[in-house]
Amino acid sequence: MTLPASPTAADRTTVVIYSGGMDSYTVLHRALREGLDVHALSFDYGQRHARELEVAERVCRELGVPHQVVDIRAIHGLIDGSALTDAGRELPEGDYGEENLSATVVPNRNMILLALAIAKAVNIGAGRVDYGAHGGDHVLYPDCRPEFVERMNAVAGIANFEPVEIHAPYLRASKAEILADGLAMGLDYGQTWTCYRGEALACGRCGSCRERLAAFAANGAIDPLGYSDRSANDASPQPDQEA
């Protein structure tokens, strides 16, 4: 009888692309619960909501997870055609939809970030890269769709001497389903940042905030994050005190 191969160091190690948002926060904890050796990787690409990087750094420090923030602002002139990277453009408000939120697409963002994360994985001997693409992004963001992940995974398998797997555990899940998974793990989503505006409080009006509030409402849960305006989703329970 042939015995199953023992897990290698590569099998036990993953690089998590960690933005500081609720999706990647859930992915990070899911990988930790798998018992993996997790290395978190964040990127400063000149995003207007750079507050998410501060949140990511704090979470990793508290968890004792190795965390690297990569400054790729030098490419800002290549990807500044988005409302998320150009402070001179108006950030759209309202629910996610092709008409009003195509302005938030950052050109080729996930291919760039995945390529760098794969390089990190090869460099440290990790066999996997995790990222938080999910089903709610499929309509608007091509680099969150299953066909993109499948093709990037194929490339990651042949681009280096050692193959790297791209793992997107919520690829076909909704934001509400991701949140349900995280709540079942007892995660504190007050330790995340979702809003496209990097202000003291989340705005509650941009598509990212509205989708987040709708996910909490769908789970009958209270979002612990502080908002300047929660009225955009009246179904979301109101906390007694802002975070």
Please give the average per-residue pLDDT across 24-45, as a whole number.
96
Assign 82 a pLDDT band (cuts: 50, 70, 90): low
pTM: 0.86
Q: How many Cβ atoms sit within 10 Å of the Cβ of residue 226?
A: 15
Average pLDDT, the chain: 84
Give per-residue pLDDT as tens, 192-215.
998 888 788 999 988 889 989 999
Are the C-beta atoms of 202 and 20 separated by less than 8 Å? no
Read out DSSP for 58-106?
Answer: HHHHHHT--EEEEE-GGGGGGS-SSTTT-TTSPPPBSS--HHHHGGGPP
Residue entry with tokens 């508290």: 62
Which secondary structure element, helix H or strand E, spans residue 14, and what is its range? Answer: strand 13-17
Q: Tell me which residue of 17, 4, 7, 11 sits closest to 169, measured CA to CA.
A: 17
